[in-house]
Amino acid sequence: MSAGAAPAGGKGSTLEKYEAVIGIEIHCQLKTASKMFCGCSTEIDGAEPNSHCCPVCLGLPGVLPTINKSAVEFVMATGFAIEATVAESTRWDRKNYFYPDLPKGYQISQYQLPLAANGKLTFDTSDGPFTVLIRRAHLEEDTGRLIHADLDAEEPGTPADGSSKGAGRRVSLIDYNRSGMALMEIVTEPNIRTGEQARRYAEELRLLMRTIGASDAEMENGQMRVEANVSIRPVGREAFGTRTEVKNMNSMKAVERAIAFEIQRQTEVLESGGTVTMETRGWDEPSQSTYHMRPKEEENDYRYFPEPDLPPLRTTPEWRAQIKARLPELPAARRTRYQTQHGLSAYDAAVLVNDPGATSLFEAALASAAGVPAKLIANWVTGEYARLVKSAEGVSGGKVAAAELAALIKLVTDGAISGTNAKEVFAEHYASGTAVASIVEARGFRQISDSGVLESAIEEVVTANPAAVADYKAGKTNAAGFLVGQVMKATRGQANAAMVQEALRARLDRAE
């Protein structure tokens, strides 16, 4: 592996003696209608516990798994999207271990022959573009969910984190609804060097999953789970140090922070003469630190062997070609196209492409009949639209019709309404869906750009404010601003402000 240049602690820190080595494992819940090896529905959100189970995903004896084709296709699509080699032939392996959330006592996974191997993903960081090398992407099945409850708690069944708060009688409940859901695991090479690179990788992969429709990849609800393997080594040394594996990061920010914490912790261990222990650690959000969870399992603890109940999986050239051809435009290509074809900045392109809602609004407004420039649409989508979606004003589920946005932009560029009023119109359209033209009409926002009307309004203001006119003539140019304000007031804000300014100055500078 090539040695990255970035030191573990960043420039000027005391940590420059060490360099971090990071590899990321990500599990994504695939967006299939049924589970990985049975016909159970995957609509388990909010469902009654153990209501989406059958003998196969409960691991009862004598049942046979069948392969979910769309899960296979999602991993193939991912493989092509990360420029990996998609296997012609792969097989299934049993990973054996005991835990109550794993009813069969083994997980069907792909060990020796992953469906996709040797890919890569490139994205921007604050230090410029960076490419993560991806070792493999494979298919497996999810486990059930253990819920630790306190029998004496006021709300029985409240999920607990395993720590015993209070002295109540404790019991563990099991919900097998998630058991057997299709999971894709994506493992990188250890060529990541900083927490930021790791976070950006996870963000770009999440965007990719959403773009190809393989997973909704929400971290908050476990659809995407990121684990970081972190070690440090003296700068210039080839051999890797002992790694720890960090789990339970619930957000992208947590991924970056957990890695930074782990680098710092390991540095302190080594600096104080200690040794790093191979272990699995958890990220604790409240204390912003990692804690020991368990010693790391060794590979041979799992006693992998080929799954006897499933035949090897073959992908024909036709099938592979079909999946590849079906890929939508990928984020990296789209960002480049927005810059080259539409002249957008790298920043605007990234913001638009990051959010599927923004992307489709931009594309549709561009395609609408109004013919407004891409840059203006991009400004509205990355500005007002993004602000409304985020802010409390943004009624959740608010919508913008692309043709209405284009019409609104056209009204502004034609000088028919002011930019300030346009924002109000936009917010109202977003909340109610009412057509832009109707809102402009109802609220009397149509700008007065008729120079005759403006000139008579100016004349009235000039006559009514002799003192301000005298100030202006005496060289106090900000008196003009006051007079513009008076004209705007007299026209209830509807005057075309730019025209008023120009006409007023011309009027004032004219000899009396």
Question: Rounded to the nearest whole angstrom, what is the least distance from the CB of residue 187 to ligand ADP in the complex?
Answer: 5
Q: Which residues are registered as beta bridge partners of 186?
A: 26, 137
Please state, in angstroms and rounded to a whole number, the distance separating the CA atoms of residues 137 and 243: 21
Cα–Cα distances (Å) from 199 to 279, 302, 384, in that order, read 22, 30, 27
The residue (of 194 and 494) whose beta carbon lies closer to ligand ADP is 194
Question: Rounded to the nearest whole angstrom, what is the least distance from the CB of residue 143 to Zn ion in the complex?
Answer: 13
Question: Rounded to the nearest whole angstrom, what is the least distance from the CB of residue 146 to Zn ion in the complex?
Answer: 18
The correct pick among 4, 6, 10, 25 for binding ligand ADP (CB under 6 A) is 25
Please state, in angstroms and rounded to a whole number, the distance separating the CA atoms of residues 215 and 383: 27
User: What is the distance between the terminal CA atoms of the chain, rounded to a whole angstrom?
Assistant: 81
Q: Which residues are registered as beta bridge partners of 244?
A: 230, 279
The residue (of 302 and 319) whose beta carbon lies closer to ligand ADP is 302
Q: Which residues are registered as beta bridge partners of 139?
A: 184
Residue 231 interacts with which of ligand ADP, Zn ion, none, CB < 5 to 8 Å by class: ligand ADP
Tokens 């059958």, residue? 54
**Which tokens sit at 54?**
């059958």
The residue (of 187 and 386) whose beta carbon lies closer to ligand ADP is 187
The answer to whether the CB of 189 falls within 8 A of the CB of 221 is: no
Pairing outcome for strands 279-284 and 244-247: parallel
Residue 22 interacts with which of Zn ion, ligand ADP, none, CB < 5 to 8 Å by class: ligand ADP
Question: Rounded to the nearest whole angstrom, what is the least distance from the CB of residue 232 to ligand ADP in the complex?
Answer: 8
The residue (of 150 and 185) whose beta carbon lies closer to ligand ADP is 185
The dihedrals phi and psi of 187, each to the nearest 5 degrees, come to -120, 130
Question: Rounded to the nearest whole angstrom, what is the least distance from the CB of residue 174 to ligand ADP in the complex?
Answer: 25
Question: Rounded to the nearest whole angstrom, what is the least distance from the CB of residue 296 to ligand ADP in the complex?
Answer: 7
Residue 363 interacts with which of Zn ion, ligand ADP, none, CB < 5 to 8 Å by class: none
Q: Is residue 276 near ligand ADP by the rule CB under 6 A?
A: no
Q: Which residues are registered as beta bridge partners of 19?
A: 233
Residue 215 interacts with which of ligand ADP, Zn ion, none, CB < 5 to 8 Å by class: none
The correct pick among 9, 23, 114, 144 for binding ligand ADP (CB under 6 A) is 23
Pairing outcome for strands 279-284 and 85-86: unpaired
Residue 447 interacts with which of ligand ADP, Zn ion, none, CB < 5 to 8 Å by class: none
Q: What is the DSSP letter of 156?
A: T
The residue (of 305 and 347) whose beta carbon lies closer to ligand ADP is 305
Q: Is residue 279 near ligand ADP by the rule CB under 6 A?
A: no
**Which tokens sit at 493?**
């804000």
> Binding string to Zn ion for residues 9 to 38, with x set by CB under 5 A, is what?
-----------------------------x
Please state, in angstroms and rounded to a whole number, the distance separating the CA atoms of residues 460 and 486: 10
Q: What is the DSSP string of 51-114?
A: -S--TTTTT-TT------HHHHHHHHHHHHHTTPEEPSEE--EEEE---TT-TTSEEEE--SS-
Residue 216 interacts with which of ligand ADP, Zn ion, none, CB < 5 to 8 Å by class: none
Residue 188 interacts with which of Zn ion, ligand ADP, none, CB < 5 to 8 Å by class: ligand ADP
Please state, in angstroms and rounded to a whole number, the distance separating the CA atoms of residues 319 and 44: 30
Residue spans of beta strands (DSSP E) within 126-265: 128-141, 145-150, 170-175, 182-188, 224-234, 244-247
For Zn ion, the binding residues in 44-63 under the rule CB under 5 A are 54, 56-57
* The one segment of 17-25, 336-344, 379-387, 406-414 that binds ligand ADP by CB under 6 A: 17-25
**Which tokens sit at 469?**
């006119």
Residue 38 interacts with which of Zn ion, ligand ADP, none, CB < 5 to 8 Å by class: Zn ion
Length of the chain: 512
For ligand ADP, the binding residues in 210-249 under the rule CB under 6 A are 229-231, 240, 243
The residue (of 263 and 408) whose beta carbon lies closer to ligand ADP is 263
Q: With contacts defined by CB under 6 A, how many residues of the chain interact with ligand ADP?
A: 15
For ligand ADP, the binding residues in 134-193 under the rule CB under 6 A are 187-190
Closest among 34, 8, 503, 68 to 313, alpha carbons compared: 68
Q: Is residue 119 near ligand ADP by the rule CB under 6 A?
A: no
Tokens 């602690």, residue? 9
Question: Rounded to the nearest whole angstrom, what is the least distance from the CB of residue 39 to Zn ion in the complex?
Answer: 7
The correct pick among 8, 22, 276, 427 for binding ligand ADP (CB under 6 A) is 22
Please state, in angstroms and rounded to a whole number, the distance separating the CA atoms of residues 108 and 309: 10
Residue 21 interacts with which of ligand ADP, Zn ion, none, CB < 5 to 8 Å by class: ligand ADP
The dihedrals phi and psi of 55, each to the nearest 5 degrees, come to -55, -30
Q: Which residues are registered as beta bridge partners of 284?
A: 289
Residue 508 interacts with which of ligand ADP, Zn ion, none, CB < 5 to 8 Å by class: none
Report which residue type is found at 357. G
Q: Is residue 482 near ligand ADP by the rule CB under 6 A?
A: no
Residues near Zn ion, by CB under 5 A: 38, 40, 54, 56-57
Residues near ligand ADP, by CB under 6 A: 21-25, 187-190, 229-231, 240, 243, 299
